[in-house]
Structure 1
Amino acid sequence: MAGLISKVFKAKWLLLGIALVLLLVWILRPFLDVFVYGIFVYYITRPIKQWLSRYIKNEGILVSVSLLMLALPLIILIAYTLLVGMSQLMAVVNSYGLTAALPSGPLTNMTTSFSQLHSNLTSGNFTLESVTDITRQDWYKTISGYSGNLPLLQAIAFSTGSTIVDIAFKLFIIFLVGFYMLKEDAHMQRWFAGTFPKLMDEHNRLLPRYASAVDADLQKLFFGNLLSIVFFAIIAAVVFEGLSIFAPVPSLQIPSPILLGILCGVSALIPIVGMWLVAGPLFLYLLISSLIAGTLFTHFGYFLFMVLAIFVFVLTIPSFVIQPFMARGQVHSGLLMFAYVLGPLVFGISGLFLGAIVLVLVTHYFGIVVPEMAAEGQESHDFDL
């Protein structure tokens, strides 16, 4: 008993440090998604900062300009595209009675209400032509006509567990985390190396090698891969939406264009076939639906125009412009695709980034740490023999 007390006394500072770390983790646990977004902001903004550092020498101004140039517009764009795409997915699932087969999660709950609100708003008869002629009574009638959507807005707010103040506060923390990671990343690396020199040197500098590999792959995934997927998805969604708007008949309209655009972006991860996995069935669907409706030959010119537009603007040009920036590092493309698809369904929007982070950490743990420890264990065993 005395020996145990003596060991505890000698390890008192280590135990206090562990307790403080656990306390800090417990305090920050509700803000896990915020820090995930902050890490994403850091990695997508770091190359912009490195490029702008040739022209801006003040570190604070450099980081601020980098964030305003890329991170803020991109986050808004990703959030909106993902919400609209998920609302269209929920509409498709509900139409085929497959709601029970879809995993429940924060994003699924939120997009159920969002899809209802979106359909209600888009089905209204309000037109911009009469804006200048609207009287006070007309404004009241117009706004009260949409009052049925207020409970849905409230449902969206509660389904995300957020209020306007909470969202604003979290956005502030996200950019604050990204700002200080961009500004102090080199300083934090030097502090860690100086504070834990033995930890840095043990096992043939295993920790620096592991951290460097994780950092490099997260950079590739977030700035190269994920941004490429986002741009692929946006380009495809815009093309699909435009073709649907100008379609002369319903049989030539593209169903759920935003959702198909997102699927095009994700399918770009798959080598060789890539977005053809989405475009091919889409061409077949348009062909069959127009044949059944008897509109294919009467609007054959527009059908050819759709095929040509999708082939050029969705399948060809983005591949030449964006594909060179896509890099998967050491992460398997199939696992990465599952992380991007299943992550948001399980963890909400933050799962789009959290799934990739966990996948990178696990991949390099089994690719770097496990072989190194196994090799040391084998050497020790051979030495004992």
Structure 2
Amino acid sequence: MPFNDVDRSRAVWWGVGGLLVAALTYVVYSFVGTFVFGVFIYYATRPVFNRIRRRIPQPSVAAAVAIFALALPAMLLVGYALLIVANQLYDLTNRGVFDPTRIPGIDQELLDTLSDPEAILALDWGQYLTVDTISRLAGSVSNVLDAVAFFGTGAIHLFVMLALAFYLLRDGGRLSRFFTRFADQHGVIQAYGRAVDRDYRSIFFGNILNAMLTGTIGVIVYSLLNVAAPAGNHIPAAALVGLLAGVASLVPIVGMKLVYFPVAGFMAIRAAANGDVGTLWFVAVFALASFVVVDTIPDLVLRPYVSGRSLHVGAVMLAYTLGPLLFGWYGIFLMPMLLVLAVHFARIVLPELLTGEPIKPYAVDPSYLTAEGPFRFGDVEEE
């Protein structure tokens, strides 16, 4: 095409559009963990939101109730469980409890002096007004400011996660209708979006949420059981065992039995070896609580929402395993998302791209003809 025939105005606007897409891509890339966790919160709260909508027709109010009355308290509970685990890991490393002498400018002699009122009155404060002391005090203030900045940044990330989940709950239907009107000529986006949405719901609400809830329940239940444990036969590293039980729930078939069966066996062998046969009742209580409270109840509650999975179990397990290794903590969310996108692209779009034929979803998936209406991302539906 000759240069004179190029619509310069349209070319400029295409350039502006490309710059905007690049800028948005950079923002998402910089905060990918925050956005991915926000999507997880959306899928974890959507079944509750759909039920609330039947009683509260206003989508904003229903989304706020789902986020702030259910999702936020659940996140705080999970955070509390992780705090217990972190504290137990800290104790297991033999570093002891919080040591004030680790703060720059504070030593044991100063602490002993400040704890004695008579020594404070007789203290020569001039000896502390030195350049070295002031510089160490400035370093301490800097450490405090760094801690405040750290928690402030965490609060901002939490706000973005909850805001993203809130607007996806409230406006997800509008977003899906925009894309289908703008770019969907043959129903491809509807078929692709419906398949991706179904598997995202299975992965996020059925698997990852189950693992998080199971781990949280395990941490709290095992920590409470240890309060009543007989001397010499407590649960070893109770909080850590609960967390590992949640992680093991992602393993198909056997699940968290990989954790609490060996722990129960170890506790029974330890009791027999120490001659504390009378404490075997606690081992039975631990096994029963693990099977009923930690294992069975969460599985029964979430099982109805995990039906219809179309992904290979082995592929999902590899995604859960490789995701954190490749991307960090958020990889357990991001890698399954990429797996779902790739699988359904290969199933719905790729075959006809290779043959050069028009892309028609029903040519690949005849079940689309009997689907329950068009896909609407975020619309109220029967979960």
TM-score by structure 1 length?
A: 0.69
Cα distance between partner residues in 2 of 1:19 and 1:356: 29
* Root-mean-square deviation over aligned CA pairs: 3.8
Cα distance between partner residues in 2 of 1:174 and 1:270: 27
CA radius of gyration, larger in: 2
Work out whether residues 270 and 334 of structure 1, in 8 Å CA contact, stay in contact via their aligned partners in 2: no
Query: What residue number does 1:33 align with?
Result: 33
Query: What residue number does 1:47 align with?
Result: 47
Relative distance call for 1:341 and 1:234 in structure 2 (3 A) is farther
Relative distance call for 1:91 and 1:205 in structure 2 (3 A) is farther
Aligned residue runs from structure 1 range 1-385, under 5 A = 3=2, 11-82=11-82, 84-85=84-85, 120-121=97-98, 163-196=150-183, 200-201=184-185, 204-250=186-232, 252-292=233-273, 294-327=274-307, 329-340=309-320, 343-344=323-324, 347-376=327-356
1:7 CA displacement: 6.4
Deviations 1:219-261 (A, max 9, x none): 22222332222222222222322232322233x2222323322
Deviations 1:308-367 (A, max 9, x none): 333333344444444444457223334434544554565454334223322322332333
Structure 2 residue runs without a partner (length 5+): 100-113, 118-138, 360-383
Relative distance call for 1:317 and 1:219 in structure 2 (3 A) is closer
Query: What residue number does 1:106 align with?
Result: none
Query: What residue number does 2:369 align with?
Result: none
The amino acid across from 1:76 in the alignment is L
Work out whether residues 223 and 238 of structure 2, in 8 Å CA contact, stay in contact via their aligned partners in 1: yes
Cα distance between partner residues in 2 of 1:157 and 1:84: 23
Relative distance call for 1:315 and 1:69 in structure 2 (3 A) is same
Cα distance between partner residues in 2 of 1:364 and 1:84: 40
1:191 CA displacement: 2.0
1:51 CA displacement: 0.8
1:54 CA displacement: 1.6
Work out whether residues 42 and 169 of structure 2, in 8 Å CA contact, stay in contact via their aligned partners in 1: yes
What SS class does the counterpart of residue 284 from structure 2 fall into? helix
1:298 CA displacement: 3.9
Work out whether residues 180 and 189 of structure 2, in 8 Å CA contact, stay in contact via their aligned partners in 1: no
Cα distance between partner residues in 2 of 1:212 and 1:368: 11
1:22 CA displacement: 0.4
Query: What residue number does 2:130 align with?
Result: none
Structure 1 residue runs without a partner (length 5+): 96-115, 123-136, 141-149, 380-385
What SS class does the counterpart of residue 97 from structure 2 fall into? helix
The amino acid across from 1:374 in the alignment is L
Query: What residue number does 1:100 align with?
Result: none
Relative distance call for 1:190 and 1:328 in structure 2 (3 A) is closer
Query: What residue number does 1:144 align with?
Result: none
Cα distance between partner residues in 1 of 2:28 and 2:293: 44
Work out whether residues 228 and 326 of structure 1, in 8 Å CA contact, stay in contact via their aligned partners in 2: no
Work out whether residues 85 and 258 of structure 1, in 8 Å CA contact, stay in contact via their aligned partners in 2: yes
Cα distance between partner residues in 1 of 2:145 and 2:75: 19
Cα distance between partner residues in 1 of 2:315 and 2:221: 28
Work out whether residues 210 and 364 of structure 1, in 8 Å CA contact, stay in contact via their aligned partners in 2: yes
Cα distance between partner residues in 2 of 1:156 and 1:304: 49
Work out whether residues 260 and 287 of structure 2, in 8 Å CA contact, stay in contact via their aligned partners in 1: no
Cα distance between partner residues in 1 of 2:42 and 2:306: 18
Cα distance between partner residues in 1 of 2:146 and 2:331: 19
TM-score by structure 2 length?
A: 0.70
Cα distance between partner residues in 2 of 1:362 and 1:42: 21
Higher helix share: 1
Cα distance between partner residues in 2 of 1:371 and 1:83: 49
Cα distance between partner residues in 1 of 2:25 and 2:306: 34
Work out whether residues 269 and 333 of structure 1, in 8 Å CA contact, stay in contact via their aligned partners in 2: no
Work out whether residues 228 and 325 of structure 1, in 8 Å CA contact, stay in contact via their aligned partners in 2: no
What SS class does the counterpart of residue 19 from structure 1 fall into? helix
1:178 CA displacement: 1.9
1:370 CA displacement: 2.5
